[in-house]
Structure 1
Amino acid sequence: MEGLGQLALAAERRGEVWTEEATERYQRQLLLPELGLEGQQRLSRARVAVVGAGGLGSTLLPLLVGAGVGQLRLCDGDIVSRSNLPRQTLYRTDELGSSKAQLAAERLRALNPHCQLIASAEYLSPENAPRLLGEVDLILDATDNEPARRCIDAYSRAAGIPWLYASVEGWGGQLALFVPGRPGYAELFPEAPPPAPSEAPHSSAPPATAEGGRPIPVLATTPALIASLAATEALKYLLGLPTTLADSLLLVDSLGMRLQRIQR
């Protein structure tokens, strides 16, 4: 790895500040030939919006902040409930009833004070989408319901912003990256399931339910697995590295330890 003086000089040429603390914090990432100082500085300039701070968000958010993403916008109107705790590891038993967005932001700021956190304790809707998701480089889906994903898809199309889809159920999940000018979520899943009478487009509707009103089954480890893959793809996209998910759907089955990529 380059010495501190070389790192600081290279950053200075780009009009950026590089410190000894940053070298120590990101030393393992700086060793990667695909990343290095230029990639790390690129992450520090990145702006990402994450919709949802539940099971997926509990892994996805700390990984992005820890990796050095410069600005992260988070929206979730939900509060912590007891059934969340097995898989939503950002929260504690003594925090039942508290805002997920506010608790998550507090922990993430402590994890990396160099990341700008903008937390909104509100559900995503067509009306607030421009304010919550606008002017970012990438939108990440960490929701647990279909209306929210349709809302993300519609806004991202209109604004020309790429977004990464992630969903979990049982032992597995799905991932795909949708970029402007290419077929999107609506083409991949053309028929949305009919919403329940009280369901509105928002980031999470606790508890998430399957057809018939039953809670969606999910193992505690499944969201962490899917979110780790999503975070990896998000960082690759922000770094300008190739990703196969821009033209395919990844199916993950942890029970059988199988990954299947379907061209779309």
Structure 2
Amino acid sequence: MNRYARQIALPEMRPEGQDRLRNARVVIVGAGGLAAPVLQYLGGAGVGRIRIVDPDRVEVANLHRQTLFREADVGSPKAEVAAAALRALNRDCRVEPVIAALDPANADTLCKDADLVLDCADSFAVSYILSDTCRAKGLTLVSASVIGLGGYAGAFCGDAPSLRAVFPDLPRSAGSCAEDGVLGPVVGVIGALQAQMALALIAGIAPSPLGSIVTFDGSNLRFGGFAFTGAPEPAQAPRFLAVSDIRENDFVVDLRSADEAPLVRPSAHRLPVTAFGPDGPSPDTGHRAVLCCRSGLRAWAAAERLSRVWEGPIFLVALGDPPPRYTPDGENE
């Protein structure tokens, strides 16, 4: 136990807490900037089993904040590179890389047998998909988001309200690091907060971070936060759907422009968000509305407008970006 002597010495940890870490099974969705400190701290602390889920490959633009990667890793799958780094850090940590994008069709399987799930994906849609999955399975979710010079980390679901309860309304933007920019140390701070929350939850350190959010504003170097243990779950909320689960008789709307992408399927209607309302289109009785866009943000906005005039089921599909092509030297075309 010499490896863990410094943390076992903590009265909050003791050998019993270390045993909980060793027996824990954790799923980490996203292997980028947030996952870099999360993986290193969880692996270093002795978490026994870690599944890393990420569909992407390392790009040069990742290197300023995704500190697990080196220039030689460009073009390689992030999940595999991160898993190799974790095995090199701690051979007792059993790591399973999964090169796949999490969606509503595979979320339940990917979170199977987990004790804790961490959302490090930098995706508006993935955060809500994981929240819905964890709430249904009774799992705790540690979710975080970083944009620009600020961000937050929070512990949701399990015995606490879900992410939907805390953020029930349409966000003003579903920005990402690629779109809005980000500074590397801010990502490191928020990722470290995620790791601390995860270790506290697994080891049973009191007071529990469950039901609380910690915020960080890197522009003035200030921390904040709040508890949300009394937040009510929304009565109605649009759920995300996998592309593979769209049915033939669904009323499918592609909210992307023609120059943005081809239709999600030939029978889909191409409409803007503003088309929905009192005089706008709606599905026939007994059918489902399936609203598609890149991030899920436009689909959510269209769902809000449609739900005011139609009471049937509405689902959202986040189609994401087309997968990049990589040249033999690993550069993104």
Shorter-chain TM range is: 0.7 to 0.9
Find the aligned partners of 1:151 and 1:176 in 2 and give their Cα distance: 16
Write the letter of the residue equivalent to 1:144.
D
Change (3 A) 1:42 1:226: same
Residue 69 of structure 1: which of 47, 53, 62 is its match?
Answer: 47
Pair 1:56 & 2:34 matched: yes
The equivalent of 2:224 in structure 1 is 260
RMSD, aligned α-carbons: 1.9
Q: Secondary structure in 2 aligned to 1:55? A: coil
Pairing of 1:169-184 with structure 2 (within 5 A): 169-184=147-162
Find the aligned partners of 2:161 and 2:9 in 1 and give their Cα distance: 36
When the two structures are aligned, how many residues end up with a matched partner?
A: 228
Q: Could you tell which deviates more after superposition, 115-124 or 186-195?
A: 186-195
Change (3 A) 1:26 1:46: same
Find the aligned partners of 1:243 and 1:138 in 2 and give their Cα distance: 17
Deviation string, structure 1 residues 64-115 (Cα, Å, up to 9, x no partner) = 0000001111100011111100000111112211100011111111110101
Q: Secondary structure in 2 aligned to 1:226? A: helix
- 8 Å Cα contact 2:131/2:157 also seen in 1: no
The answer to which structure, 1 or 2, has the higher relative contact order (CA under 8 A, 6+ apart) is 1
Find the aligned partners of 2:66 and 2:223 in 1 and give their Cα distance: 24
Pair 1:118 & 2:82 matched: no
Larger radius of gyration: 2
Pair 1:223 & 2:187 matched: yes
Pair 1:234 & 2:212 matched: no
- 8 Å Cα contact 1:174/1:252 also seen in 2: yes
Find the aligned partners of 1:227 and 1:52 in 2 and give their Cα distance: 12
Find the aligned partners of 2:15 and 2:89 in 1 and give their Cα distance: 21
Q: Mark the runs of 5 or more structure 1 residues left unpaired by the alignment.
A: 1-22, 197-207
Find the aligned partners of 2:101 and 2:11 in 1 and give their Cα distance: 39
Write the letter of the residue equivalent to 1:246.
L
The equivalent of 2:287 in structure 1 is none
The TM-score normalised by the length of structure 2 is: 0.65
Write the letter of the residue equivalent to 1:153.
S
Pairing of 1:102-141 with structure 2 (within 5 A): 102-141=80-119
- 8 Å Cα contact 1:146/1:192 also seen in 2: no
Deviation string, structure 1 residues 8-57 (Cα, Å, up to 9, x no partner) = xxxxxxxxxxxxxxx22111112111112121111100111100000001
Change (3 A) 1:24 1:221: same
Deviation string, structure 1 residues 117-157 (Cα, Å, up to 9, x no partner) = 11101110111112211111110011101011011011101
**Higher percent of residues as helix:** 1
Pair 1:164 & 2:128 matched: no
The equivalent of 1:78 in structure 2 is 56
Find the aligned partners of 2:226 and 2:172 in 1 and give their Cα distance: 26
- 8 Å Cα contact 2:13/2:205 also seen in 1: no
Q: Secondary structure in 2 aligned to 1:38? A: helix
